[in-house]
Amino acid sequence: MAASKRVEEGARELSPLASLAARSAASYEPMPNGHEQVDLGLPPGELLDIHRRMLLLRRLEERIGQLYAMGEIGGFCHLYIGQEAVAVGMERATRSDDPVITAYRCHAHMVVRGVAPELVIGELLGKAEGVSGGKGGSMHMFDPARNFYGGHGIVGAQVPLGTGIAFALKYRKTDRVCVTYFGDGAISQGQVAEAFNMAALWKLPIVYVVENNQYGMGTAVDRASAVSALHKRGESFGIPGQEVDGMDPVAVERAGLTALKHARSGRGPVLLEMKTYRYRGHSMSDPALYRTREEVQKVRDERDPISRVAELLVSAGVVDADQLKAVDREIRATVMEAVAAAQAMPDADPAELMTDIYSGGS
Amino acid sequence: MREAIRDAMAEEMRRDESVFLMGEEVAEYEGAYKVSQGLLQEFGPERVVDTPITEAGFAGVGVGAAMMGLRPIVEFMTWNFAMQAIDQIVNSAAKTRYMSGGRLGLPVVFRGPNGAASQVAAQHSQDYGAWYAHVPGLKVVAPFDAADAKGLLTAAIRDPDPVVFLEHELLYGDTGQVPDGEHVAELGRARVVRPGRDVTLVSWSRGVSAVLAAAETLAGQDIEAEVIDLRTLRPLDRATVLGSVQRTHRIVCVEEGWPSCGIGAEVIATVSAEAFDALDAPPRRVSGAEVPMPYAAHLEALALPDVETVVRVAREVCYVDV
Ligand SMILES: Cc1ncc(C[n+]2csc(CCOP(=O)(O)OP(=O)(O)O)c2C)c(N)n1
Ligand SMILES: [Mg+2]
């Protein structure tokens, strides 16, 4: 396919991050749970940054899960645990002025964009200073100042929205690119195909990222999609697609850089399929009986993005296990402080019920 | 309640092999709200069909299958997601009998939970009763108790026309007596669930529980409220409502959804036009606040009709506090 080839060439041209990524970029192959290879492919400082950012997301989501279990958070709450490499790798590849949009599994995408964790937690607690003033909750968070456009609850709906954002970026003749996330379940929504066609037709600056965590709620991807290679879903529109090991943050970053370069250069959309996995149920109310504990454990043992990076750092002698523990302690403390700060926020004022419906305030 | 819905589907599937169920997570997961428990096991994957997340597509597939004489039950995980499919429900399902000059009918049921759940916020908490009740060619049902859920769903499946069947997530766990054996209720009939002489309180679906509680409180204050459960929103049983107002001379309509152009507006327009002389007080509505549903629990509570407000408004139309 000519279109895919162009991206591959882009990758070679760019080739910013060598070995670790090369191992898992083009064809998906889980990295073995060993560390025979110590070439980091990135300066150690960068890998430490990746590790730290992923660990923050993990600890934050774990704490949110606990708050939910304690009844402090209500409604639907979808955790990102297991998928951290995607958000972190892609965030490192994007520019801060590149708009991002996603579905309801959005806490992590907010935080990697630089939104303070206490604002996210405050929202989950229904607080006045929560990022949506307590009106949106877990699924509906926005921060246009940080180029984050939500936080959407209707499966697939954010895909045309992201495409519209890309339309505006092109219309205004910017060199910004919209990154639009959605799930393996969402990709079957009709409006996703409609959006793909328009984006390709008009060569819009957009990178579609399908976070293929193998399940849409309780439905495994091969029970929902006639072809399970989701990166091929754009082929009939001429959208180049690439499968990426979404449990490898360096592979994600590398693929992201290549795709963003392609889209930024006016050559139109790219579809990246991140092969990833969610460790928890679909939402807090899903007991996840459609898969075995062993299946989850195997991914945790063999592909966990945080452990993989930690092992690399240790085996390369960048840090030792004690230093990693200290980082973890520090991050846990950060999360605890964020929770305390959020809990201290005032509840949303009842008078706010009738505001924000129209631009005049109410 | 969920068993009553499941039993109605299972009994009709046993009775009529053209009945089948399709929707997201209906088969292997047995329903996102566990309504279709045991159905895959009993009827197999040909008749209990898991779909991809593609509401517009599978609603259309359901309508097409009905064109060929099958009797699809199309489950929406919630009615919020049916907005993806509303074109097929309104433009295809509702209008085909008319457009074909009566040559092609569509015996399809669209069902699933409607209305607010608990803190699931704006995109997952909306009452679509008024939306669908607006459409000629659709029948719209919204049961309150388990017996009605079974009887009305059975009737809906047997009905030759498209039926929108609005369940309520917060009622799924309710228990209630369901008559043994075959139980078919009549579509288009409201029911007086509590007789009274002082004021008519009208609601449907979960609203009936608030209204019954209000009636209980009012009874302690010497006001005998008559409670009407509409059960079907289209066709609307205007006669039952008008008959009640002739006796009580006062009416309060309680709905979870937004008031503008709502079911309450329709009920009150009917009463104003056809029982104007019987009225001793302006007809009133108690409804959801006109805002997208907020997430925070305390804001959400303010956005929904509650028992206290129903009691207060009922007392106002009875002029007891003036
Ligand atoms: C239009 C619509 N249909 C159904 C749902 C219910 N629902 C919420 S999430 C979900 C599964 C989506 O799976 P996927 O796209 O793979 O994303 P993931 O949850 O795995 O991140 C479903 C069916 C919804 N929110 N919107
Ligand atoms: Mg998924």
| Model pLDDT for residues A44-86, shown as the tens digit of each residue | 899 999 999 999 999 999 999 999 999 999 999 999 999 999 9
Q: For residue range A173-222, list pLDDT tens digits in order.
A: 999 999 999 999 999 999 999 999 999 999 999 999 999 999 999 999 99
> Quick check: is A285 in a domain?
yes
When the candidates are 3.40.1280.10, 3.40.50.920, 1.10.10.60, 3.30.200.20, the CATH number that belongs to B191-317 is 3.40.50.920
- Which chain A residues contact residue B297 at CB under 8 A? 74, 126
Count of structural domains, chain A: 1
What is the pLDDT at residue A42? 84
Q: If you measure from the C-alpha of residue A185 to the centroid of ligand 1, how many angstroms do you get, rounded to a whole number?
A: 6
> Quick check: is A353 in a domain?
no
Mean pLDDT of B100-126: 97
Quick check: do B2-171 and B191-317 share a fold? Answer: yes
Alpha-carbon distance A185 to nearest alpha carbon in chain B (angstroms) = 6
CATH code where residue A132 lies: 3.40.50.970
Measured between alpha carbons, how far is B251 from B230 in angstroms, rounded to an integer?
14
Q: If you measure from the C-alpha of residue B264 to the centroid of ligand 1, how many angstroms do you get, rounded to a whole number?
A: 33
pLDDT bin (cut points 50, 70, 90) of residue A40 is: low
Q: Output the average pLDDT for chain B.
A: 97
What are the two backbone dihedrals, phi and then psi, of residue B266, each rounded to the nearest 5 degrees?
A: -70, -45
Residues with Cβ within 8 Å of A234's Cβ and at least 6 positions away in sequence, in order, are A196, A200, A208, A240, A241, A269, A271
Q: If you measure from the C-alpha of residue A182 to the centroid of ligand 1, how many angstroms do you get, rounded to a whole number?
A: 9
Confidence check: pLDDT of A251 > 50: yes
Please tell me the pTM assigned to this model: 0.93
B19-51 in b/e form (b: 16+ CB < 10 A) is: bbbbbbbbbebbbbbebbeebbeebeeebbbbb
Q: If you measure from the C-alpha of residue A214 to the centroid of ligand 2, how many angstroms do you get, rounded to a whole number?
A: 6
What is the pLDDT at residue A327? 97
Q: If you measure from the C-alpha of residue B14 to the centroid of ligand 1, how many angstroms do you get, rounded to a whole number?
A: 31
Is the Cβ–Cβ distance between A253 and A54 less than 8 Å? no
Measured between alpha carbons, how far is B108 from B75 in angstroms, rounded to an integer?
11
Task: Return the residue in B290, B299, B306 with the most chain A beta carbons within 10 A, the one to mutate for interface testing.
Answer: B299
Chain B segment 275-294 residues within 8 A of A by beta carbon are 289-292, 294
Is B124 part of the annotated catalytic residue set? yes
Q: Is A105 in the pocket of ligand 1 (CB under 6 A)?
A: yes
Any idea of the CA torsion for B268, B270, B272, B275, to the nearest 10 degrees?
-120
Q: Per the CB < 8 Å rule, is B53 touching A155? A: yes
CA distances to A8, A41, A77, A148 from A281, rounded to whole Å, are 35, 33, 10, 25
> Quick check: is A57 in a domain?
yes
pLDDT bin (cut points 50, 70, 90) of residue A362 is: low
Confidence check: pLDDT of A15 > 80: no
Ligand 1: nearest atom to the Cα of B83: 1
Ligand nearest to the CA of A218: 1
> Quick check: is A360 in a domain?
no
Nearest to B252 by CA among B227, B231, B223: B227
The ipTM assigned to this model is 0.94
pLDDT bin (cut points 50, 70, 90) of residue A148 is: very high
Say yes or no: B25 contacts chain A, CB-CB below 8 A: yes
Confidence check: pLDDT of B258 > 80: yes
- Given the residues B30, B124, B169, B226, the one annotated as active site: B124
CATH class of the domain at B2-171? alpha beta
Q: For residue range B11-60, list pLDDT tens digits in order.
A: 999 999 999 999 999 999 999 999 999 999 999 999 999 999 999 999 99
Q: For residue range B50-87, list pLDDT tens digits in order.
A: 999 999 999 999 999 999 999 999 999 999 999 999 99
Alpha-carbon distance B266 to nearest alpha carbon in chain A (angstroms) = 25
> Quick check: is A50 in a domain?
yes
Chain B segment 45-64 residues within 8 A of A by beta carbon are 50, 52-54, 56-57
What is the pLDDT at residue A6? 41
- Which chain B residues contact residue A75 at CB under 8 A? 117-121, 124, 295
Q: Per the CB < 8 Å rule, is B297 touching A350? A: no
Residues with Cβ within 8 Å of A358's Cβ and at least 6 positions away in sequence, in order, are none
Chain B segment 207-246 residues within 8 A of A by beta carbon are none
Is B11 part of the annotated catalytic residue set? no
What is the pLDDT at residue A30? 34
Confidence check: pLDDT of A5 > 90: no
What are the two backbone dihedrals, phi and then psi, of residue B132, each rounded to the nearest 5 degrees?
A: -80, -30
B136-162 in b/e form (b: 16+ CB < 10 A) is: ebbbbbbbbbbbbbbbbbbbbbbbebb
Asked if the bond preceding B288 is cis, omega within 30° of 0, the reply is: no
> Quick check: is A358 in a domain?
no
**Separation of CA A213 from chain center:** 11
> Quick check: is A350 in a domain?
no
> Quick check: is A220 in a domain?
yes
Is the Cβ–Cβ distance between A192 and A224 less than 8 Å? no
- Count contacts between A and B (CB, < 8 Å): 121
Q: Per the CB < 8 Å rule, is B302 touching A155? A: no
Query: Which amino acid type is present at position A169?
Result: L
Q: Is A217 in the pocket of ligand 1 (CB under 6 A)?
A: yes
Q: Which domain holds residue A97?
A: 2-25+36-344
What is the pLDDT at residue A18? 35
